[in-house]
Structure 1
Amino acid sequence: MKKTPLLNIALSRVIASLGHGDVLLIVDAGMPVPPGVELIDLALTRGVPDFIAALDVVLSEMQVESHVLAREMIEVQPPALQVIETLQIDGQLGRQSWVSHEELKVLSRTAKAIVRTGECQPYSNVALVAGVVF
């Protein structure tokens, strides 16, 4: 059995397969998933799992070079934003970029996979760009 926190087989496989520059999105329950992009649906019910829990577990295994957020997040201020800001300060998320929510949806078409959570706070979405550990 694995010693790291991530137990989900599909998510573990996707993270292990990421190359430098590949994109993985962690999204709320309402974010659309484009055709052809792998969906790892963790959502069980409203709020379970929440965005923050999913992000924490992904970051336990993924090296992140940068991340992209929707500007609308600034206006709505979901709880995830404060956590992301703290992780940004701690250097766990690399460079930060802001785009419109529509642009984030366009970016999602290039994602290796999208991880859907049960989060129901609007705009609780982040695109993580894979880095390298060396």
Structure 2
Amino acid sequence: MKRKGILNREVSRVIASMGHGQFLLVCDAGFPIPQEADCVDLAIKKGLPDLPTVLSTINKEFISEKVMCAPETKSNNQPLYDELKKIFKEVDFEDISHEKILKEIAYEARAIIRTGDYNPWGNIVLQAGTDPYAWFEKEGLKMPDFYKQRIKNIEEADKRDMFYKSENNMEVYYGTLC
């Protein structure tokens, strides 16, 4: 039996299959999921499971480099938006129209995870990222500014422990930032 983390085999499968830049859409109970989508339906009843629980659990095992949601999430559902900012403190946010989520992202997403939440504008797109510590630990590599900023965001959010730890001294990482 798995020791910890995500126990749902389908959610684990989806996360393990994701590549850099692909989209994972985590949606509320009412999202119109395309028939051809790879869907993991977690909904049991109204509110179970809720979006924050699913998203915070996913964030412990999935590297997001961007979180996208409709601007209405911030303007019309501030409690959800505030929760997203807490869960994904180290990640960049981007507004994306609700229509684009419905008509494009739903068809482009590597997978869709449906929750039981009844949460207006509760359709959150996670763009898969990479672990900047792991990918840039070899000597001689030049780290692009984007990844330097990612490391800064990760460390300011005090989430360094969620990423790869080399057996080498941490100076390897800090040396690449200069």
For 2:75 and 2:82, how far apart are their aligned partners in 1? 13
For 2:94 and 2:4, how far apart are their aligned partners in 1? 29
Partner of 1:125: 123
Partner of 2:105: 107
CA RMSD of aligned residues (A): 1.3
The amino acid that maps onto 1:35 is Q
Partner of 2:173: none
For 1:10 and 1:20, how far apart are their aligned partners in 2? 19
Q: Secondary structure at the match of 1:21?
A: coil
2:94 maps to which of 90, 93, 97: 97
Asked whether the equivalents of residues 51 and 117 of structure 1 are also in contact (C-alpha less than 8 Å), the reply is: yes
Deviations 1:29-52, CA, capped at 9 Å, x for gaps: 011112311110000000000011
Ranges in structure 1 where 5+ consecutive residues have no aligned partner: none
Please report the TM-score for the alignment, with normalisation by the length of structure 2.
0.70
Asked whether the equivalents of residues 71 and 96 of structure 2 are also in contact (C-alpha less than 8 Å), the reply is: yes
* Residue-pair matches, total: 131
Deviations 1:13-40, CA, capped at 9 Å, x for gaps: 1101111111101110011112311110
Aligned CA distance change for structure 1 residues 86 and 28 (closer, same or farther; 3 Å):
same
Q: Secondary structure at the match of 1:83?
A: helix
The amino acid that maps onto 1:128 is L
Asked whether the equivalents of residues 65 and 132 of structure 1 are also in contact (C-alpha less than 8 Å), the reply is: yes
Deviations 1:103-128, CA, capped at 9 Å, x for gaps: 11121210011000000011112100
Deviations 1:50-87, CA, capped at 9 Å, x for gaps: 01110011111101111110112123215321111223
Partner of 1:28: 28
The amino acid that maps onto 1:19 is G
Ranges in structure 2 where 5+ consecutive residues have no aligned partner: 135-178
